[in-house]
Structure 1
Amino acid sequence: MSILDRFRPVGAPGPAGPAGVPAADIQGPAVELAPVFAALADDVARCAALVDEARLSAEEDVARARTQAAAILSQGRLDAGVERAKAAARVEREASEQDAELLEQARQEAAALEESGLALMPAVVDKVIDTMLAALNPGLLGPGPLSPGHKSPGQK
């Protein structure tokens, strides 16, 4: 029995008449819908297969992505170690360059001090000798800048 056979025939076209109602529902909707579901069974099976394929593909994609992420992290850790070593070498090189500059500056200052000290040496030696001689024999030097009681032009 078709779904259309379930409804009683109603009046012909024209003024409104009584509505069509089911004549009998002895077999129930399950029997009526069985052929529809049977016709859809192949489509449902194909859809289930597609869902299973998609699920499997998604699991493979996730596994591949996890492997790739682990490789990226591993490479990042290796690169970080290399970069740390490069940075340490750069800092050490800069410190060595700065130390070399400071050492050269200290050498130049020492050379300048030595040169100025050597330039003053004869005058200091003369003064020390004159002072020692004056202390040993006050009359030996005579009047002069180192003799006792001598006043320099700026003294009163």
Structure 2
Amino acid sequence: MRGGNMPQWRDFLERFRPTGAPGSAGRPGVPADRVSDAAAELVPLLELLDDAQDEAARIRREGAAHADEVRNAARRQADSTVARARAETERVRAEAEATARSRAAATRNDVRARTAADIAELQKRADARMAAYVDKVVAEARELLNQATQSQSGATQG
């Protein structure tokens, strides 16, 4: 019974063989479902990537948490630094004021000492010149008195 009109199993299964896209006539068969074939091939691979994707999400969450911790620690450190700076402001201001006052006092004392030295020098020069000026003034006063006396005696005689 083999040679007649009886279809062979191989011929029967050949009808269900995937064929190309619809179009020109081709061999009879079931249209190929390439999407499901690709999905069937890719699903196991993509399932392997699920673990990697979960791991990546976990790493991102941990990174974000660590970044928040670092940011908060930096904020606390900055607040502490600002608080210390504000606390030391008065001390630094007092030190600067004391330094400025000390320098001003030293400058004032130096100016006073130079002024006193200048005054002493002027006094010394004035004392040295005073005797000569007094003698000159006395001589001129005598001269004027003599002239006045002579002009009065000339006026009374005449």
Q: Does 1:103 align with 2:112?
A: yes
Corresponding position of 2:74: 65
Corresponding position of 2:51: 42
Structure 2 counterpart of 1:24, from 5, 16, 33: 33
Corresponding position of 1:8: 18
- Over the aligned positions, Cα root-mean-square deviation in angstroms equals 4.3
Distance 2:111 2:104 in 1: 10
Match of 1:148, SS state, is helix
Structure 1 length normalisation: TM-score? Answer: 0.51
Q: Which sections of structure 1, spanning at least 5 residues, go unmatched?
A: 1-6, 11-17, 132-143, 151-156
Distance 1:31 1:123 in 2: 128
Distance 1:109 1:57 in 2: 74
Q: Which sections of structure 2, spanning at least 5 residues, go unmatched?
A: 1-16, 21-25, 149-158
Distance 1:80 1:29 in 2: 76
Corresponding position of 1:149: 147
Distance 1:71 1:40 in 2: 46
Structure 2 length normalisation: TM-score? Answer: 0.51
Distance 2:19 2:46 in 1: 28
Match of 1:107, SS state, is helix
CA deviations on 1:38-63 (whole Å, 9 max, x unpaired) are 33333222222211111111111111
Aligned pair count reads 122
Q: Assess if the C-alpha contact under 8 Å between 2:18 and 2:33 holds in 1.
A: no
Pair member with larger Rg = 2
CA deviations on 1:55-112 (whole Å, 9 max, x unpaired) are 1111111111212222333344455554444333332222211211121122223333
Distance 1:62 1:44 in 2: 26
What letter corresponds to residue 87 of structure 1 in structure 2?
Answer: A
- Percent sequence identity is 24
For 1:120-139, what aligned pairs fall within 5 Å after superposition?
Answer: 120=130, 124=134
Shift of residue 146 of structure 1? 6.6
